[in-house]
Structure 1
Amino acid sequence: MMYAVALILTHAVGLSLTATILIIGVVTLAYCYLGGMKAVVYGDAIQMGLLLVGLVICLVVGLDRLGGWHAFTANVDPARLVAVDYSGFGLGDDNGFGFWPMLIGGLFLYCAYYGADQSQAQRLLSARDSTTVRRTLLANGLIRFPITACYCLMGLVLGTLAQQGSGPVAEAIAGEPDLLVPMFIRNGLPAGLTGLLIVAIFSAAMSSVSSAINSLSAASVEDFIVGGRDVSDGAYMRASHAATLFWGIVCLGLAFVTGHLAATLIEAINKIGSVFFGPLLATFVSAILWPRIDARGANAGLVAGVAVNVALWLFVPALFWFWWNVTGALACWAIAGLTSRAGPRAHAPRTAATLDWHWPSVTLLAAWFVAIVAFASALPLMLRG
């Protein structure tokens, strides 16, 4: 994420990639080191506000440059309006972003992201009570689509604007789509708005990086340094500071060696995540619901799931990467079950947890899902009339 945003900002402000990575990394590391989890949560809330302001500015200015809404709908590429493709299964040469790989693979991906990823789970564990956690997840499920739809609409507007003109912005869409927004910010906005949008992009980077650093630090301290022992607050704080500094430096170092992994940055980020999210979800589900899978089996399954996905990445390019979330989970469960069954059992089986389904929320989210699919399917007709 640090590399991705640094690449964008390099073209928006003219700084070198090295300087941009260092600025993002050092500033984020500083407030993570000093502020901890509270700084991450409050910082994320402020940064989200900045991003939404930037989204509205780009959308409004882009529509104005195009000549208004009617000019946009008259000139937008019809192929770009197809949001749901029921024909693609992510196999062979068909469109990987089809309905079924996105639905099934996305289910595994987001269950892992919101249920087992430390960067998200630590926010939920910081909530006041379980009711707050439920309301937070419900609000996220309801609000996420409108915000994402606005981002996509902004991309359609700016892409249409680029196709109608010439110069750097028009060249960006033909070469590197990731540069479309930063080049529009640099060349298409007044100076004051350009500065505000650059701050918004920096905020996006710091929001993601701060979550990563803080979650890595928390997990490292709890699992490897404290390890269940009773330590003083002072010792715990020193360990947390040391872990935060260490992981901040690691993230900075990795940002310098990250290259292009996909056609666009959003694909690259999710492609990397899809290698790990399936096995991660399977491990947590095993710990909660399948008592007969022991720690040895869970570790073996986790490694096997990631290995299977890496092998698919390297040797089976015909399989769309969204399916890795499923293959990794299935491989993890299979190996974890076999390993646990084959070896001697060190402890008595655990008791499976009881799931507390909040059916009003489940029903509301299911209805919202149907509405989203219906809206997305009808989108070409609505925009083209």
Structure 2
Amino acid sequence: MLYLLFYQSPYYHYYTMMLSTTDWAIVILYLIGMILLSVYLSRGQKNQKDYYLGGNSTGAFPVAISIMATQCSTNSILGAPAFVAFSLGGGLLWLQYELAVPFAMIFLMIFLLPLFKRLNIISVYAYLEKRFGKETRTVLSVFFQFFRAFSAGITVYGICIVIEYCTGISFFWSVAVLGIVTVIYDSIGGMKAVIYSDVIQMVILYAAILFAIYISLDIIGGYDAAINAFDSKRLQAIDFSHTGFDGKDFAFWPMLIGGFFLYVAYYGTDQTQVQRQLSTKDAKGTNMSLFLNGMLRFPLVLTYCFLGICIGAYVVTNPDFFNDLPLKANEEPNYNLAVPIFVMQKFPIGFIGLFMVGLFSAAMSSLDSIINSLSATTMQDIVKGYFANSLNTKKEFYLSKVFTVFWGLAISAFAFFVGGISDSIIVSINKISSLANGPILGVFVMGILIKRINNVGAILGLLMGFVTNMLLWFFVPNISWLWWNVTGCVSAIVFGYFGSLINPKPIQEKVKGLVHEGKLTEAFNLSGYWGKYYLALAAYGIIMLIFLGAF
């Protein structure tokens, strides 16, 4: 077994010597601690609401930090610095994506999350059954499950190439170990363990990022030296010169508008996020978690993007560093490994272990929330939707854990097929997600804003929105994938509307409370309780734009 775990990796002879016994001890103790935490937090679980929503007893702040922790996953820690420092067309342009976040939070606080919270649902797709019918709920849920599982495979891929390179454990066994540990942890703890472990992970990981910045600046000679050494073209944070229709992906308009659609879809229709937001006590707590995420996310992203500047500047003064990066299948350096290799070379013993703990916990915290949400949608939307009469509370609780195991294995399998999608992990996961985000969002927008849409139109809109994006990917490559979030949504609405007219299947009569029937002014009430929060988010978005424009 030791031979299988270690000696099959091409990196064994060098890198296992760099991960000291102290570092291994820190990693192992942390993983054991997380499992014990999940056991402690699992006390009192009696039903699916306890398992999937933490008994609706979680505060807004832990939920907001948990959401941020998912964003600050291995995809971000590996991909964002690589994009800023090395990727073709990269640099601080990635920060333009963040300009859309505050405005997306406003939309969600007005239209989606209070509605979902009021309906007292576990799966966000339960809304679609109430609004359209069981068929729409089933199709959307299956659609989500496949794409979220595939994108989660990218997360597993990201951390496992690091585990392989830094420890000598082969990629196969890295995937196996990470998957098994995460499934055990997730099946025990449920949503409450997911949230509170995310809070711990966020503290550890952010500390590791700051320490990596400190070490790199100390080597380079300080902030001014880093900025002077870094490629000045990559310091540009705003690009008004391109539109995203000319082969240039990372321009202002596609990142602002496409980003708005992406974030509304991600935070408002993706079960992995909505499930946590619904775990609060009431709608006020849910909205507050969105507000806090909108305010705190930008400093986090700015920090790990600045780490990319530091790594890029270090490479300029130490060009031999490129020789330490392994080659991908296309014979180009694997830039996603730049940060962990820098840490392995420059961090002292013990701190390397803490950084590895950060990467492990980031991957596990992202993965366990995804597995938990996939289990929830499978159980709520498929099993209970079609086999409810044969299940009791005990069987439902048992099956919830069975589906957790199933999705953990499926995601691990996907990890072997995602390595070549892009030279940056963070681009890979956003590209895959953008295929589906727009069409899914389009169905929800039709549901909450257009009373005329029926079940046939909703399903047709979803399928045609996805087909539209696939056609753009294969036949119109000059259109940025960032626009797919818009084209998918708009196409879904257009086809859904006309599909409802061509196939006039009766619209459900009981839509009261499920559609915003011409009361947008009332919803966007600046004089009400949430008005000051809307204004604060909008002002924050403008301040962010001014700040980035100064680069």
Q: Which amino acid aligns with 1:144?
A: R
Q: What stretches of structure 2 of length at least 5 have no aligned partner?
A: 1-154, 327-331, 525-529
Task: Report what 2:542 is aligned to.
Answer: 370
Task: Report what 1:140 is aligned to.
Answer: 293
Please tell me whether residue 211 in structure 1 is matched to residue 369 in structure 2: yes
Q: Which moved more, 1:351-360 or 1:97-106?
A: 351-360
Q: Which digits, 9 at most, give the CA deviation of each residue in 1:39-80, with x for residues without a partner?
A: 211122221122111111111111111112232122222112
Q: Which amino acid aligns with 1:214?
A: N
Matched residue pairs, number? 378
Task: Report what 1:176 is aligned to.
Answer: 334
Task: Report what 2:124 is aligned to.
Answer: none
Q: What secondary structure does 2:381 align onto?
A: helix
Tell me the CA shift for residue 232 of structure 1. Answer: 2.9
2: CA distance, partners of 1:137 / 1:170:
43
Task: Report what 1:15 is aligned to.
Answer: 169
Please tell me whether residue 160 in structure 1 is matched to residue 309 in structure 2: no
Contact 1:169/1:183 (<8 A) preserved? no
Task: Report what 2:278 is aligned to.
Answer: 125
Tell me the CA shift for residue 92 of structure 1. Answer: 2.2
Q: Which amino acid aligns with 2:396?
A: Y
Q: Which moved more, 1:63-72 or 1:316-325?
A: 63-72
Tell me the CA shift for residue 255 of structure 1. Answer: 1.1
Contact 1:9/1:182 (<8 A) preserved? no
Task: Report what 1:55 is aligned to.
Answer: 209
1:104 to 249, 254, 257: 257
Q: What secondary structure does 1:152 align onto?
A: helix
Tell me the CA shift for residue 205 of structure 1. Answer: 0.9
Task: Report what 2:222 is aligned to.
Answer: 68
Q: Which amino acid aligns with 2:542?
A: V
Q: Which digits, 9 at most, give the CA deviation of each residue in 1:25-44, with x for residues without a partner?
A: 11111111111111211122
Task: Report what 1:258 is aligned to.
Answer: 418
2: CA distance, partners of 1:310 / 1:9:
33
Q: Which digits, 9 at most, give the CA deviation of each residue in 1:79-135, with x for residues without a partner?
A: 121011111111223x32111000100000000111111000000111111111111
Tell me the CA shift for residue 233 of structure 1. Answer: 2.1
Q: Which digits, 9 at most, give the CA deviation of each residue in 1:156-208, with x for residues without a partner?
A: 01111012113345664982321210110111211211111111111111121
Task: Report what 1:79 is aligned to.
Answer: 233
2: CA distance, partners of 1:309 / 1:115:
20
- 1:1-385 counterparts in 2 under 5 A? 1-93=155-247, 95-169=248-322, 172=325, 175-227=333-385, 229=388, 231-349=391-509, 350-351=511-512, 352-353=515-516, 356-357=523-524, 358-379=530-551
Contact 2:452/2:507 (<8 A) preserved? no
2: CA distance, partners of 1:34 / 1:359:
40
Q: What stretches of structure 1 of length at least 5 have no aligned partner?
A: 380-385
Contact 1:309/1:324 (<8 A) preserved? yes
2: CA distance, partners of 1:31 / 1:152:
31
Q: Which moved more, 1:140-149 or 1:22-31?
A: 22-31
Q: What secondary structure does 1:362 align onto?
A: helix
Q: Measured at CA, do residues 185 and 2 of structure 1 come closer, stay the same or move farther in structure 2, by a change above 3 Å?
A: same
2: CA distance, partners of 1:159 / 1:12:
21
Give me the identity figure in percent.
Answer: 37
1: CA distance, partners of 2:227 / 2:377:
49
2: CA distance, partners of 1:117 / 1:53:
29
Q: What secondary structure does 1:122 align onto?
A: helix
Q: What secondary structure does 1:191 align onto?
A: coil
2: CA distance, partners of 1:235 / 1:171:
52
Q: Measured at CA, do residues 63 and 189 of structure 1 come closer, stay the same or move farther in structure 2, by a change above 3 Å?
A: same
Q: Which moved more, 1:143-152 or 1:70-79?
A: 70-79
1: CA distance, partners of 2:508 / 2:351:
63
2: CA distance, partners of 1:166 / 1:85:
29
2: CA distance, partners of 1:232 / 1:65:
62
TM-score by length of 2: 0.66
Tell me the CA shift for residue 152 of structure 1. Answer: 0.6
2: CA distance, partners of 1:159 / 1:172:
14
Contact 2:295/2:537 (<8 A) preserved? yes
1: CA distance, partners of 2:456 / 2:187:
34
Task: Report what 1:382 is aligned to.
Answer: none
Contact 2:237/2:549 (<8 A) preserved? yes
2: CA distance, partners of 1:347 / 1:104:
32
Q: Which moved more, 1:318-327 or 1:258-267?
A: 258-267
Contact 1:32/1:214 (<8 A) preserved? yes
Q: Measured at CA, do residues 118 and 348 of structure 1 come closer, stay the same or move farther in structure 2, by a change above 3 Å?
A: closer
1: CA distance, partners of 2:185 / 2:269:
25
Q: Which moved more, 1:352-361 or 1:99-108?
A: 352-361
2: CA distance, partners of 1:40 / 1:337:
39
Tell me the CA shift for residue 23 of structure 1. Answer: 1.9
Q: Which moved more, 1:54-63 or 1:342-351?
A: 342-351
Contact 2:455/2:505 (<8 A) preserved? no
Contact 1:168/1:183 (<8 A) preserved? no
Task: Report what 2:40 is aligned to.
Answer: none
2: CA distance, partners of 1:315 / 1:191:
51
